[in-house]
């Protein structure tokens, strides 16, 4: 069937973008990313977008599809085309560079704010410990979800709190914080508590809109991670 | 179009997947005074290492020993692997796992605290450590976290288009920044190529779209030979669009079924069944399909239903997700359509066990390299292992090799810049998408799963002709910022060079060994072909084929591989 794509276009040297429509034949099985490749190959070689794995594991191709952040490679075109024109825009909360490509720097800055790595590994490392067993079911489940995060920035893009307050680290960085907050290999819990509690930027600033849970292509449930940390934060001194 | 940035590093690493990042992180840890840069055309977490699902092999169990892993790897590689290299790979594997654990990877564990290990093809016991079914993703995340922790200089979304060597020594890379359009010269005392494989030359591939053999081609053009580049592993089970369904699915007990509802592996490998080595499973599926026992969609079926919903959800969540989103099938309810898919490049840049290439100061690691640990066929779970073991090893051998820092070779740099500028010359040129389609057709028809003299002779002529046409590609858009047209044109040039080398190495290997299966020479021939191929490209673009003996230490090669 025919699909009409209404796509945001912007040259790197332009301030404001414009829109352009492309008509593509889409059989079942064709994803939005497949359609982008066809537009680039057959209609406009200058069309710019990010891609790598085309299998929903690298996190490159998140864009706004009909106003909601999603991975282009994981979105079938035909079912959307049946409903009408497919409106494609770059992610929100990040500056546009060219067409669907956005500047990721603010996303990575927020991510690095939570110091996303084992801060201080235990000195004598015991490779025999069962670290999942040190956690209850709730944490085992949420931790396995935290590992799934592909840093596609879909949640960051659609976070109303981040739009309102650019100090807020956003959902993905909160998931990373969660991952290390509960890692029994990391002996430095106090640092994590401080990051979580930081006024404006920490998870305490989240307004619980829950868009992150809806748009996450890997079902990481960032708000759940945020809520668990918030509930378990020790009382402020 | 001129160079706007000139960087001066001790070591520049091209490629920021697991091999490149392992090297960078370890160098930052052990040699903090060295100036090291990571150069990658995508952000590190977008690298193809992240797509590896199943796991990473290591003899970490108390009742396992590296010698068994060593033998299984040699046999799985049809004895083309160099035994000194395979020994390093397998002996150092447990240490690699401990290092990853220390850096934060959450490997799945058994109730007693030991690493959980799943069975993988061609190995005599469970030896594959894993993180759910996204082991590569978990490792890639860990390594990226470590680059952040150690403050490694990452030039992400910089596309390297030339490797400059002068007087037989590596001098640096030319690259442009996709985000800003700036052109940079990255001069360095040593370079490490870790750009992964080149599966994209076959089109139907499980490889990420970025796996276009860039590093291999740059090294080849600079004078480093590609070794064993005729060996491309075909994964038995890809979806119709090439997305991989990991061997883990069979490891957990999945069945391969033809349209007559037979578990047909019984005919080909009664002992190992679905867990026979990949090349055998791939050819078995190929045979089933070509002999009319495939389904109407040109696939066989991978049936997981008997595992039950709970096990599929718990152990294979990513496979389930992939089948649902990319094939429209829920494996809890229906079997998954699968067919063979080009998966892994065993060959690569000729490098020794220290990752050193014949170009002084140029090193290679991971899938881009051929240190020769996989031989003619790679075992599942050994690719992630190679990236870590040899990435870490490069972090020792490169600093030890560094000598003086000669000034940038202006003339050689200018020659490469002229080639780059020529892409933007006025006038009509060849179309990138059309040439790319033609390349995929040639490689699949001549050098895919069915290799025989007649077809290869024909397609060899075609790929050489295509390489000539590829010189006339033109890019119309001159702004370098996210210039996808330019990226595709440069990638095409790389793919054609690697494809051509593969073609020239494949034809004269008149035997069948591992992934290189000749219908006209179905037997392995140790007398004539127990040797590595080396394809070198001279300054005029002509290819020269040589051979190199396989390093045998303590395991006499078998004359027949049976499972």
Same domain, A182 and A204: yes
The first and second tokens of residue B308, run together, are 């039950």
Same domain, A119 and A211: yes
Is residue A6 domain-resident? Answer: yes
Residue A124: its pLDDT value, please? Answer: 47
Query: What distance in Å separates residue A59's CA from the closest CA in chain B?
Result: 6
Stretches in chain A below the pLDDT threshold 50: 124-125, 127-128
The first and second tokens of residue B82, run together, are 């160099």
Same domain, A226 and A175: yes
Please compute, for residue A195, the number of CA atoms within 13 A of its CA located in the half-sphere on the CB side: 25
Query: What distance in Å separates residue A165's CA from the closest CA in chain B?
Result: 25
Count Cβ atoms within 10 A of the Cβ of residue A111 and give its class: 0-12 exposed, 13-18 middle, 19 or more buried. buried
**Residue B114 neighbours by CB under 8 Å, 6+ apart:** A128, B60, B61, B62
Q: Which of A68, A83, A102 is the last residue of a domain?
A: A102
CB contacts, 8 Å: B484 with chain A:
40, 45-49
The first and second tokens of residue B24, run together, are 């960078």
Contact B190, B336 (CB under 8 A): no
Contact B215, B195 (CB under 8 A): yes
Give the nearest chain B residue to A183 (CA atoms).
B104
Q: Which helix (H) or strand (E) holds A194?
A: helix A189-197
A68: CATH:
3.10.20.30
Residue B418 CA: distances (Å) to CA of A170, B14, B423: 45, 22, 9
CA–CA gap between residue B522 and residue B231 (Å, rounded): 15
Is residue A237 domain-resident? Answer: no
Contact A65, A88 (CB under 8 A): yes
Is residue A219 domain-resident? Answer: yes
Q: CB distance B148–A117 less than 8 Å?
A: yes
* Angle, vertex CA A213, rays to CA A153 and CA A151, nearest 5: 25
Q: Which of A79, A102, A125 is the last residue of a domain?
A: A102
CB nearest B484 (choices: A40, A54, A143): A40
Count of positions (residues) in chain A? 237
Is residue A228 domain-resident? Answer: yes
Nearest to B285 by CA among B313, B323, B249, B255: B255
Parent domain of A12 = 2-102
Same domain, A111 and A192: yes
CA–CA gap between residue B279 and residue A222 (Å, rounded): 41
**Residue A16 neighbours by CB under 8 Å, 6+ apart:** A10
Nearest to B24 by CA among B358, B388, B360: B388
Is residue A24 domain-resident? Answer: yes
Same domain, A46 and A123: no
Give the nearest chain B residue to A145 (CA atoms).
B132
Dump pLDDT digits (tens) for A46-99.
Answer: 999 999 999 999 999 999 999 999 999 999 899 999 999 999 999 999 999 999
Residue A60: its pLDDT value, please? Answer: 98
Helix (H, G, I), strand (E, B) or coil at B173: strand
Residue A131: its pLDDT value, please? Answer: 54
Contact B41, B33 (CB under 8 A): no
CA–CA gap between residue B224 and residue B350 (Å, rounded): 7
CB nearest A55 (choices: B51, B98, B481): B51
CA–CA gap between residue B83 and residue A99 (Å, rounded): 51
Give the nearest chain B residue to A133 (CA atoms).
B111
**Residue A145 neighbours by CB under 8 Å, 6+ apart:** A175, A218, A219, A220, A221, A224, A225
**Within the 477-506 window of chain B, which residues sit less than 8 Å (CB to CB) from chain A?**
477, 479, 481-485, 488
Q: CB distance B45–A150 less than 8 Å?
A: yes
The first and second tokens of residue B319, run together, are 């496979």
Give the nearest chain A residue to B324 (CA atoms).
A74
* Angle, vertex CA B350, rays to CA B345 and CA B354, nearest 5: 110
Query: What distance in Å separates residue B480's CA from the closest CA in chain A?
Result: 10
* Assembly ipTM: 0.95
Total tally of structural domains belonging to chain A: 2
CA–CA gap between residue B183 and residue B490 (Å, rounded): 15
Q: CB distance B209–A58 less than 8 Å?
A: no
Residue B297: its pLDDT value, please? Answer: 83
Residue where the block lists tokens 């006339």 = B472
Hey, what domains does chain B have and what are their CATH numbers?
A: 5-231+346-401 (3.50.50.60), 236-337 (3.90.700.10), 426-532 (1.20.58.100)
Q: Please spell the DSSP secondary structure of B120-133, one letter per residue.
A: -TT-SS--EE-STT
CB contacts, 8 Å: A26 with chain B:
none
Same domain, A76 and A168: no
A134: CATH:
1.10.1060.10
Is residue A60 domain-resident? Answer: yes
Same domain, A113 and A208: yes
Tell how strand B117-118 and strand A96-98 pair up. unpaired
Q: Which helix (H) or strand (E) holds B27?
A: helix B18-30
Residue where the block lists tokens 């079926």 = B301
Q: Which helix (H) or strand (E) holds B227?
A: strand B226-227
**Residue B429 neighbours by CB under 8 Å, 6+ apart:** B472, B473, B474
Beta bridge partners of A21: A6
The first and second tokens of residue A95, run together, are 């500056």
Q: Which of A86, A102, A118 is the last residue of a domain?
A: A102
Torsion from C-alpha of B399, B405, B410, B414, nearest 10 degrees: 0
CA–CA gap between residue B359 and residue B369 (Å, rounded): 13
**Within the 262-321 window of chain B, which residues sit less than 8 Å (CB to CB) from chain A?**
318, 321
Between A and B, how many CB-CB pairs are < 8 A?
Answer: 151
The first and second tokens of residue B191, run together, are 């370079």
Same domain, A114 and A216: yes
Q: Which residues of B377-416 are buried (b: 16+ CB within 10 A; e: fewer)?
A: bbbbbbbbbbbbbbbbbbbbbbbebeeeeeebbeebbeeb
Q: CB distance A58–B47 less than 8 Å?
A: yes
CA–CA gap between residue A198 and residue B228 (Å, rounded): 55
CB contacts, 8 Å: A130 with chain B:
109-113
Is residue A148 domain-resident? Answer: yes
CA–CA gap between residue B219 and residue B365 (Å, rounded): 12
pLDDT in tens, chain B (563 residues): 899 999 999 999 999 999 999 999 999 999 999 999 999 999 999 999 999 988 999 999 999 999 999 999 999 999 999 999 999 999 999 999 988 988 889 888 887 778 999 988 889 999 999 998 899 999 999 999 999 999 999 999 999 999 999 999 999 999 999 999 999 999 999 999 999 999 999 988 999 999 999 999 999 999 999 999 999 999 899 998 889 888 888 989 999 999 999 999 999 999 999 998 777 899 899 889 889 999 988 899 999 999 999 999 998 887 898 888 888 789 999 999 999 999 999 999 999 999 999 999 999 999 999 999 999 999 989 999 999 999 999 999 999 999 877 788 999 999 999 999 999 999 889 999 999 999 999 998 899 888 999 999 999 999 999 999 999 999 999 999 999 999 999 999 999 999 999 999 999 999 999 999 999 999 999 999 999 999 999 999 999 999 999 999 999 999 998 87
Tell how strand B362-364 and strand B183-193 pair up. parallel
Q: Which helix (H) or strand (E) holds B535?
A: strand B531-537
Is residue A208 domain-resident? Answer: yes
Residue where the block lists tokens 């690259």 = B175
CA–CA gap between residue A203 and residue A207 (Å, rounded): 9
CB nearest A125 (choices: B102, B131, B243): B102
Same domain, A111 and A221: yes
Q: Please spell the DSSP secondary structure of B149-160, one letter per residue.
A: HTT-EEEETEEE
Q: Is B278 a catalytic residue?
A: yes
Query: Can you give the C-alpha Rg of chain B in angstroms?
Result: 22
CB nearest A45 (choices: B208, B477, B481): B477
State the catalytic residue, choosing from B127, B189, B221, B278: B278
Nearest to B419 by CA among B545, B541, B501: B541
Q: CB distance A57–B134 less than 8 Å?
A: yes
Beta bridge partners of B173: B163, B186
The first and second tokens of residue B343, run together, are 């998966």
Same domain, A96 and A112: no
Same domain, A85 and A114: no
Same domain, A203 and A96: no
How far, in whole angstroms, is CA B12 from its chain's centroid? 20
Query: What distance in Å separates residue A200's CA from the closest CA in chain B?
Result: 23
CB nearest B104 (choices: A31, A42, A118): A118
Query: What distance in Å separates residue A116's CA from the closest CA in chain B?
Result: 6
């Amino acid at each position: 069937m025919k699909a009409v794509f209404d796509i945001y276009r912007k040259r790197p040297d332009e301030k404001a973008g414009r829109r352009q429509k492309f008509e593509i034949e889409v059989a079942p099985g064709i994803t939005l990313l497949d359609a982008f490749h066809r537009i680039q190959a057959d209609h406009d070689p200058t069309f710019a977008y990010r891609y790598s794995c085309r299998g929903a594991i690298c996190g490159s191709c998140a864009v706004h599809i009909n106003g909601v952040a999603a991975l282009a490679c994981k979105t079938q075109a035909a079912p959307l085309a049946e409903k009408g024109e497919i409106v494609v825009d770059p992610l929100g909360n990040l500056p546009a560079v060219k067409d669907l490509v956005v500047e990721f720097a603010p996303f990575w800055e927020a991510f690095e704010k939570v110091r996303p790595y084992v801060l201080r590994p235990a000195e004598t490392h015991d490779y025999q410990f069962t670290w999942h067993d040190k956690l209850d079911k709730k944490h085992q489940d949420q931790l396995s979800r935290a590992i799934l995060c592909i840093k596609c920035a879909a949640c960051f893009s659609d976070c109303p709190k981040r739009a309102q307050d650019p100090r807020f680290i956003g959902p993905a960085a909160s998931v990373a914080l969660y991952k290390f907050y509960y890692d029994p290999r990391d002996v430095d819990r106090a640092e994590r508590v401080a990051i979580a509690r930081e006024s404006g930027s920490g998870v305490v600033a989240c307004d619980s809109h829950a868009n992150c849970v809806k748009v996450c292509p890997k079902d990481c449930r960032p708000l759940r991670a945020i809520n668990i940390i918030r509930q378990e934060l020790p009382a402020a001194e | 179009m001129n160079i706007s940035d000139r960087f001066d590093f001790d070591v520049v690493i091209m490629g920021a997947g697991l091999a490149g990042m392992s090297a960078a992180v370890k160098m930052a840890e052990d040699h903090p005074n060295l100036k090291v840069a990571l150069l990658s055309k995508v952000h590190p977490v977008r690298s193809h290492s992240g797509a590896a699902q199943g796991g990473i092999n290591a003899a970490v169990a108390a009742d396992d020993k590296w010698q068994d892993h060593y033998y299984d790897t040699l046999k799985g590689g049809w004895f083309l692997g160099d035994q000194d290299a395979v020994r390093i790979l397998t002996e150092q594997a447990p240490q690699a796992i401990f290092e990853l654990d220390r850096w934060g990877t959450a490997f799945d564990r058994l109730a007693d605290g030991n690493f959980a290990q799943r069975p993988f093809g061609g190995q005599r016991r469970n030896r594959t450590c894993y993180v759910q079914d996204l082991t590569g993703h978990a490792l890639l995340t860990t390594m990226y976290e470590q680059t952040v922790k150690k403050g490694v200089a990452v030039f992400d979304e910089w596309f390297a288009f030339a490797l400059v060597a002068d007087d037989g020594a590596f001098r640096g890379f030319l690259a442009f920044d996709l985000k800003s359009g700036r052109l940079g010269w990255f001069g360095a005392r040593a370079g490490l190529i870790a750009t992964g494989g080149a599966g994209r030359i076959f089109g139907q591939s499980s490889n990420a779209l970025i796996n276009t053999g860039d590093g291999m081609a740059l090294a080849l053009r600079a004078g480093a030979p590609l070794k064993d580049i005729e060996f491309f592993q075909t994964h038995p089970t890809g979806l119709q669009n090439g997305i991989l369904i990991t061997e883990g699915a069979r490891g957990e007990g999945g069945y391969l079924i033809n349209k007559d509802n037979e578990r047909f592996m019984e005919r080909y490998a009664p002992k190992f069944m679905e867990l026979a080595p990949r090349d055998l499973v791939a050819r078995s599926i190929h045979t089933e399909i070509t002999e009319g026992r495939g389904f109407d969609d040109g696939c066989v079926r991978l049936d997981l239903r008997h595992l039950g919903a709970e096990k599929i959800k718990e152990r294979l969540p990513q496979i389930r997700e992939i089948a649902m989103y990319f094939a429209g099938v829920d494996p809890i309810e229906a079997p998954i359509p699968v067919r063979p898919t080009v998966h892994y490049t065993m060959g690569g840049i000729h490098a020794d066990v220290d990752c050193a290439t014949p170009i002084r100061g140029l090193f290679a690691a991971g899938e881009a390299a051929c240190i020769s640990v996989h031989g003619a066929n790679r075992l599942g779970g050994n690719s992630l292992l190679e990236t870590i073991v040899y990435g870490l090893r490069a972090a020792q051998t490169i600093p030890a090799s560094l000598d003086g820092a000669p000034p940038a070779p202006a003339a050689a740099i200018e020659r490469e810049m002229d080639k780059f500028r020529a892409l933007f010359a006025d006038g009509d040129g060849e179309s990138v998408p059309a040439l790319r389609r033609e390349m995929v057709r040639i490689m699949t028809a001549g050098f895919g799963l069915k290799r025989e003299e007649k077809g290869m002779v024909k397609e060899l002529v075609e790929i050489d002709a295509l390489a000539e046409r590829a010189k006339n590609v033109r890019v119309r858009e001159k702004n370098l910022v996210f210039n996808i047209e330019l990226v595709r044109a440069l990638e095409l040039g790389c793919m054609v060079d690697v494809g051509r080398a593969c073609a020239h190495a494949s034809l004269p290997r008149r035997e069948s060994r591992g992934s290189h299966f000749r219908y006209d020479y179905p037997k392995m021939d140790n007398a004539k072909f127990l040797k590595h191929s080396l394809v070198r490209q001279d300054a005029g673009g002509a290819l020269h084929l040589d051979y190199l003996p396989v390093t045998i230490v303590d395991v006499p090669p078998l004359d027949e591989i049976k499972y």
